[in-house]
Amino acid sequence: MKNNLSKILNIFIALVAAIGAILFIRIFMEDAELIKTDAEIQQSVISPIITFSTALLYLAIGVTVFLSLFSLVKNPDSLKKTALGIAVLGVLLMLAYFTGDSLEVTDPQGKVLVGGEAGSTTNQWASTGIWYSMFLGLIAGAFFVLDLVKGLIKS
């Protein structure tokens, strides 16, 4: 079974590489100046490789999420640890949200930026992201120091 899966995967990889190479070669066959200026050439040469790349990205994301969820369902102990980790991250996110503010955002001259008015949801989430990063950085730093101290004690 694994041997057949390996063969199928190799054929799929070769097919993706061949399609990508063909689309890439088509771009180099056109004149660079025409690609920049002619919308019809852009549509016929550039759009297919962008669509193909986007489809591959979505496929990779889908397969990754599916296999991760399948692995979690298959191993209940891992599911418990993952759920606990997500819950802790959720609590940290709530803490960061309530710690953050939605004050006005100004430029160096003190003028309020467009969309940066006080009470803006964007300001609140930007501040939340900053606080969330700081909390995670502090926790990571604490674990780093703890691990360093443990290593020094064992030596």
Residues 36-72 as b or e (16 or more Cβ within 10 Å = b): eeeeeeeeebeeebeebeeeeeeeeeeeeeeeeeeeb
131: tokens are: 């606080």
- The CA distance from 57 to 112, in Å, is 38
Kindly list the domain boundaries of the chain, sorted by start residue: 2-74, 76-154
Distances (CA, A) of 117 to 39, 121, 123: 39, 9, 8
- The CA distance from 92 to 84, in Å, is 12
> What does residue 106 show for φ and ψ, rounded to 5 degrees?
-120, 160
pLDDT per residue as tens, the chain (155 positions): 667 888 998 999 999 999 999 999 988 888 777 777 878 888 888 889 999 999 999 999 999 999 988 988 888 888 888 899 999 999 999 999 999 888 887 888 888 877 777 777 888 898 999 999 999 999 999 999 999 999 999 86
